[in-house]
Amino acid sequence: MMTKTIAEIIWLAGIVGWYVIRHPYARRSKKQAISRSLTDRREWTLLIVASLGLAVIPALYLATGLASSLDRPFIPALAWIGLPVMGLALWLFYRSHADLGNNWSASLKVRQSHLLVTNGIYRLIRHPMYASFFLLGLAQFLLLPNWLAGSAGLIGALILFAFRVGREEEMMLQRFGAEYSAYAGGTKRIVPWVY
Ligand code: SAH
């Protein structure tokens, strides 16, 4: 049986899972020397917008009933779809971290010993971690029956992706040159074979 409370617990468990997956990689990546950082105010804004949409707004909704006037009816079938979407999001998030390893950073950075990763999940798409944010946002939409709290994650992920991906690819191109053009020429960004 799927209830509103169970759907909310699934979302919460997903966010805890997200943090548990990231934590060890975040600790390790702190030790990697930086050769170039594009972390400016714009980057910080994007990170804040994405965190607001994917975590803070939905958490406040659960804790305080924020924007409850925007509640929509709870539809168990939607929440049932949300469960595997959340599972897929976490799996993709884990795979991206496992494959990127020490090359990962929360904001745009090139490490001194940066390696271009083209294997594993990166063979299929160039931005699996951003794809996992879209799936996380979709799971949030399916699990939380509120127009604001449900949609905030997809909007946050979209803003982060739209304002960052061009800069990130430009940065990678400057660092890896022909190697990156060849890689980018043979892969899609988010959806395999499509986009
Ligand atoms: N856009 C990727 C990675 C997000 S993390 C994804 O969605 O999966 C952002 C950092 O990852 C960037 O600062 C960049 O340094 C690094 N990065 C992105 N693509 C990479 C690749 N193919 N190989 C190595 N590092 C990469």
pLDDT in tens, 113-163: 999 999 999 999 999 999 999 999 999 999 999 999 999 999 999 999 999
Alpha-carbon distance of 87 to 90, in angstroms, equals 5
Ligand 1 near 184 CB (within 6 A): no
What average pLDDT does the chain have?
97
* Site to substitute for ligand 1 among 43, 100, 134, 163, most atoms within 8 A of C-beta: 100
pLDDT at 15: 98
Ligand 1 near 109 CB (within 6 A): yes
pLDDT at 30: 87
Map tokens 């604001």 to a residue.
148
pLDDT at 129: 98
For the chain, list residues with pLDDT below 50. Answer: none
Alpha-carbon distance of 145 to 142, in angstroms, equals 7
Residue pair 148/142 in contact (Cβ under 8 Å)? The answer is: no
Q: Supply the residue whose CA is at minimum distance from atom 13 of ligand 1.
A: 108
CA atoms within 13 A on the CB side of 45: 6
Ligand 1 near 96 CB (within 6 A): yes
Q: Is the pTM of this model over 0.85?
A: yes
Q: Determine the distance separating the centroid of ligand 1 and the alpha carbon of 104, expressed in angstroms.
A: 6
With a CB cutoff of 8 Å and minimum separation 6, the contacts of 76 are 1, 2, 3
Ligand 1 near 122 CB (within 6 A): yes
Ligand 1 near 103 CB (within 6 A): yes
Residue pair 79/5 in contact (Cβ under 8 Å)? The answer is: no
pLDDT at 86: 98
Nearest 5°: phi and psi at 151? Answer: -90, -20
Ligand 1 near 108 CB (within 6 A): yes
Ligand 1 near 26 CB (within 6 A): no
pLDDT at 47: 97
* Concatenated DSSP letters of 67-113: TGGGB----HHHHHHHHHHHHHHHHHHHHHHHHHGGG--SSSEEETT
Alpha-carbon distance of 138 to 35, in angstroms, equals 35
Nearest to 101 by CA among 15, 13, 32, 6: 32
Q: Determine the distance separating the centroid of ligand 1 and the alpha carbon of 16, expressed in angstroms.
A: 23
